[in-house]
Structure 1
Amino acid sequence: MTIGRGIDRPDEISTGSDTHISTTETAAALPVGRVVRNARIASIPVAFAGRRAIGYGKRALGRSAAEVNRDIRSRTAQHIFEVLGELKGCATKFGQLLAIYELALPSELAEPYRIALGRLQDSAPAMLPSTVHAVLAEQLGRDWRTNFLEFDDRRAAAASIGQVHRAVWHDGREVAVKIMYPGARESVLGDLDQLRRMSALLGVFVPGADVAALTDSVRAGILRELDYAAEAASQRAFADAYRDDPEFRVPDVVAQQGDVVISEWLDGTPVPHIIASGSQAERDRVGMAMVRFVLDGCTRTDLLYCDPHPGNFRVLPDGRLGVVDFGACCRWPPAGFDGLALDYCRAVFEGGPTDLEAASRRHGFVADDRSFDVDALFAAVLPCSEPLRHKTFQLTSPWLRRQVVRATRPKLSNVARQCTIPVPFTPFARSSLTIIGALAQLGTEGAYREEIVRSLPVLAEVFDRLDQQEPRPVDLATARERRARRITAS
């Protein structure tokens, strides 16, 4: 049975089409060969070396070192994101992660990467109309056009493994038609196999982590994003939970079949535009609404929205926040999450290094048989807790840059190397890092503590006691002295 107007339950539709996409069109849409993909990625350091060599010549001709280095950074950044955008799949996901790690660079060094990253998603090569039509025929049936009153062959948006077209469904509703790139699944699976083969090397950098288990967890999360049926189910759950909500709008799923998801269209101002030109009041309102959606969604749907980057939110004409792309969702919370949150809050806000060590070992963030510098961990965690020490706080890129630099400092003595993330919490880590990065870009000021307590009422007692205490400086001198004695003794 092909998709058509007589279908009452779109999740039951199927296709008997024998239409296939030609090899030429598939290859043009997305590079799938391992040799081709590896060669594209390998071209980045090769080209960088070439630019450095040319730079030496330019300096010999009188150009300043600063000018030459700035040109090299700009060209390298553009090359990186052009390659990642062309490869799509996991490569583009990697490019999105660079939005966090570029925060570790001084602003004058990070600027070329930030500009190129902003172009990454929109610059990905679009599928030709003939390829789009072939995909729709293969997934929805040869008569796919009968389901639409109108269909725009031009893509309206690009994603890491697909692109979106605007159309009008047969009942008159404007819809977004999300289509997976031909070959995307094969390319992502190949990238994941490569990730698994490389995972053993990561143990050198984070010897305290169960790298194999974490790699498998990341792999499972990415595989979920290839399952458009699961994505549609998650979106339906959120759409039902937020139906007629005064603050949020989740579009209904109109139909889903194979590698195509059709949802109601949302018109609005994308959050990246608010980042670029919005007022501070707009940035504060939008940022806090994003936080509320991620936290509140867990309670309403038992699902964690794992991909809260700015491109997935838009401000609708009626002022509500529209949310799209539910491919990265997972069941939440895992058993014991409330206890973990309470233990860590007590250790950080009411206790000290010894309490933090006990909590870290009890919840699996440090192995029982591994020694680690708990004073260094406590000193690293304290600044990260700052947004919750105040009733309101402004997250900024400079503040986040300091935390990222501290956590990713490539020193053997960096305590982060001795810690790990328990596998059940990897989705939470992804969601948290992504939303914090977005809030820093927005420069959002708001009552973060209040939002977290609303989601986790068990923490209210800790913060109530914190408010009743006299402000006191954190005694890091004692921690440093204790750490020095421990190093000397060892």
Structure 2
Amino acid sequence: MRGMARNAKLAALPVAYAGRQAAGVGKRTLGRSPAEINNDIQTRTAQHLFEVLGELKGCATKLGQLLSIFELALPPELADPYRTALAQLQDSVPVMLPETVRTAMADSMGESWQWHFEEFDDRRAAAASIGQVHRGVWRDGRPVAVKVMYPGAREAVLADLEQLRRISILATVFVPGADVKAVTEAICTCVRDELDYEAEALYQRRFAEAYADDPDFVVPRVLSQRGDTIVSEWLNGTPVSRIMESGAPEERSRVGLLILRFVLSAWTRSGLLYCDPHPGNFRVMPDGRLGVVDFGACLAWPVAGFDEWVGDMMDATFNGDAAQIDTAMRAHGFVAPGRPFDAEAVAEALTMVTEPLAQPTFRLTEDWMRRVVCHNVDLRLSNVNRQLTIPPWFTPFGRALLTALGVACRLGTDGAIRAEFTRYSPELAAVLERFDARRDQPTDLAVVRQLRTGRPVRRNSAVR
């Protein structure tokens, strides 16, 4: 019965969305502007979506994390209730009672599982989207974190993914031009892969080896993985969420840069993309290093053609014109074959998105991210994103980059953002070197636009 109720709530989402659209037609006849009506539809749909997810289990928390970027599409006075709802999603995961924990441990590690531990606390120390973490002491005396999957979580997640496929039409509220089916399948694959604790332990071991004795990062080593449990070293550190709330500006910026550095360096050093740079997955260690946990959402990276995409798209953005952007977008699958699109509008959007790379230092803020997101998910029919699509291969990368930037913005990260990107991308470094040579280091976005159109740059506008 509980599963039927969950499915009914999810199934109600597209019905309600369609009803709001129909009501919007009637409101137009009563004189309300299309912009006002569209904003009302978006706001009510987002609110309904968060409310329903908050009542669900399975992968609802994970989907809520993925949707968190869209709270930035709302004005500040409306975003606060969504942030509260999303925080409640994180806090609403179920708690396993001690007896259930002991049964789950026995199912995974055998009836004699307690032999492996000197101590084991059957009270939850932390929550994960599909499991919970317990503190313990391994048989050799090392403090450990024991991640245990909720009984029945696998079945609940798979059921929720089936419903996600059915409600994927809601994605058109934000990205109307996307190949919704393909993008939905990419998201489902990412979430489904997080059910595989054997693969997660393998990923974590690869990261621990790649970052062993690193001056900036700590990845706990895996001591054991059996069934639906993973035992790894315990990290004593300050949660990044606490740094967001009360950290000094300098510390907030330092942590934000480290998070970006980890995500951007990961595939170069480990051959894996770290797809889930959520604040809950980072700890600031007593020695200042950034501790990283939860490696369920990873995949082999880069994919074929990724480096070429970076080079082509960034060169067209910084050093090219609308024609070059048209060519790059089509070559890498962001426009359906034969479909026209407004390359000038895409150029303007890319200039906004890449603003942190156009100058040596930049301050990432929630206001900046809000402008970028609002521009890209604007519901107006004139929004160029309605003419574009999203290649499935881009989905995990977009998730990782958007989430990392979102965390950095919430931290108010101020510093050499560009250097973090170019450090691990020779293609991007070469593009920006040519860009700097052409512009003689101007930092005003108006100058970037002038350079793209070929008009001469006025020297007094080249520096803020």
Deviation per residue, 1:391-432 (Å, 9 max, x gap): 010110011101111111112221112212222221101101
Is 1:473 the counterpart of 2:434? The answer is: no
* Equivalent residue, structure 2, for 1:300: 269
RMSD (Å) for aligned C-alpha atoms: 2.7
Identity %: 58
| Aligned pairs (5 A) from 1:59-138 | 84-85=53-54, 87-138=56-107
Is 1:146 the counterpart of 2:120? The answer is: no
How far did 1:107 drift? Answer: 1.4
Secondary structure of the structure 2 residue equivalent to 1:266? coil
Preserved contact between residue 148 and residue 170 of structure 1 (Cα < 8 Å): yes
Query: Structure 1 82/360 Cα, relative in aligned 2: closer, same or farther at 3 Å?
Result: closer
- Of residues 457, 470, 477, the one that matches 2:426 is 457
Query: Structure 1 103/230 Cα, relative in aligned 2: closer, same or farther at 3 Å?
Result: same
Query: Structure 1 363/260 Cα, relative in aligned 2: closer, same or farther at 3 Å?
Result: same
How far did 1:299 drift? Answer: 0.8
| AA matched with 1:265 | W
Query: Structure 1 178/286 Cα, relative in aligned 2: closer, same or farther at 3 Å?
Result: same
Query: Structure 1 83/199 Cα, relative in aligned 2: closer, same or farther at 3 Å?
Result: closer
* Equivalent residue, structure 1, for 2:379: 410
| CA distance in 1 between partners of 2:176 and 2:263 (Å) | 32
| AA matched with 2:400 | S
Is 1:387 the counterpart of 2:356? The answer is: yes
| CA distance in 1 between partners of 2:371 and 2:201 (Å) | 38
- Of residues 304, 319, 339, the one that matches 1:335 is 304
Preserved contact between residue 14 and residue 169 of structure 2 (Cα < 8 Å): no
| AA matched with 1:408 | V
| CA distance in 2 between partners of 1:216 and 1:43 (Å) | 21
* Equivalent residue, structure 2, for 1:5: none
Is 1:372 the counterpart of 2:346? The answer is: no
* Structure whose alpha-carbon radius of gyration is higher: 1
| AA matched with 1:93 | K
Gaps of 5+ in 2: 16-42, 454-464
How far did 1:85 drift? Answer: 4.9
| CA distance in 2 between partners of 1:443 and 1:208 (Å) | 31
Preserved contact between residue 86 and residue 124 of structure 1 (Cα < 8 Å): no
Query: Structure 1 120/202 Cα, relative in aligned 2: closer, same or farther at 3 Å?
Result: closer
How far did 1:201 drift? Answer: 6.8
Query: Structure 1 465/123 Cα, relative in aligned 2: closer, same or farther at 3 Å?
Result: same
Query: Structure 1 305/184 Cα, relative in aligned 2: closer, same or farther at 3 Å?
Result: same
Query: Structure 1 148/101 Cα, relative in aligned 2: closer, same or farther at 3 Å?
Result: same
- Of residues 372, 375, 392, the one that matches 1:423 is 392
The alignment covers a number of residue pairs equal to 421
| CA distance in 1 between partners of 2:230 and 2:109 (Å) | 10
Preserved contact between residue 253 and residue 261 of structure 1 (Cα < 8 Å): yes
| CA distance in 1 between partners of 2:376 and 2:175 (Å) | 12
| AA matched with 1:359 | A
Query: Structure 1 85/209 Cα, relative in aligned 2: closer, same or farther at 3 Å?
Result: closer
| Aligned pairs (5 A) from 1:248-327 | 248-327=217-296
Secondary structure of the structure 1 residue equivalent to 2:220? coil
| AA matched with 2:217 | F
How far did 1:279 drift? Answer: 0.6
- Of residues 420, 423, 434, the one that matches 2:403 is 434
| CA distance in 2 between partners of 1:213 and 1:194 (Å) | 15
How far did 1:263 drift? Answer: 0.8
Deviates more, 1:191-200 or 1:456-465: 191-200
Preserved contact between residue 223 and residue 233 of structure 2 (Cα < 8 Å): yes
| AA matched with 2:72 | L
| CA distance in 1 between partners of 2:75 and 2:174 (Å) | 23
| CA distance in 2 between partners of 1:182 and 1:92 (Å) | 16
Query: Structure 1 116/359 Cα, relative in aligned 2: closer, same or farther at 3 Å?
Result: same
| AA matched with 1:213 | A
Preserved contact between residue 242 and residue 250 of structure 1 (Cα < 8 Å): yes
Deviates more, 1:429-438 or 1:142-151: 142-151
Query: Structure 1 330/120 Cα, relative in aligned 2: closer, same or farther at 3 Å?
Result: same
Preserved contact between residue 235 and residue 252 of structure 1 (Cα < 8 Å): yes
Secondary structure of the structure 2 residue equivalent to 1:164? strand
Deviates more, 1:94-103 or 1:307-316: 94-103
| Aligned pairs (5 A) from 1:330-369 | 330-369=299-338
Query: Structure 1 166/80 Cα, relative in aligned 2: closer, same or farther at 3 Å?
Result: farther
| CA distance in 2 between partners of 1:205 and 1:165 (Å) | 38
Q: Taking structure 2 as the reference length, what is the TM-score of the superposition?
A: 0.85
| CA distance in 2 between partners of 1:423 and 1:42 (Å) | 24
Query: Structure 1 205/247 Cα, relative in aligned 2: closer, same or farther at 3 Å?
Result: closer
Query: Structure 1 206/116 Cα, relative in aligned 2: closer, same or farther at 3 Å?
Result: closer
Query: Structure 1 166/426 Cα, relative in aligned 2: closer, same or farther at 3 Å?
Result: same
Is 1:212 the counterpart of 2:188? The answer is: no
Preserved contact between residue 208 and residue 367 of structure 1 (Cα < 8 Å): no
Query: Structure 1 458/380 Cα, relative in aligned 2: closer, same or farther at 3 Å?
Result: closer
Deviation per residue, 1:409-458 (Å, 9 max, x gap): 11222111221222222110110111011011001012121111110112
| AA matched with 2:373 | V
* Equivalent residue, structure 2, for 1:484: none
How far did 1:99 drift? Answer: 2.4
Secondary structure of the structure 2 residue equivalent to 1:304? strand
How far did 1:208 drift? Answer: 4.0
Preserved contact between residue 58 and residue 153 of structure 2 (Cα < 8 Å): yes
Deviation per residue, 1:192-223 (Å, 9 max, x gap): 11122334675797564332222222111111
Deviation per residue, 1:144-171 (Å, 9 max, x gap): 1111111112101111111111111111
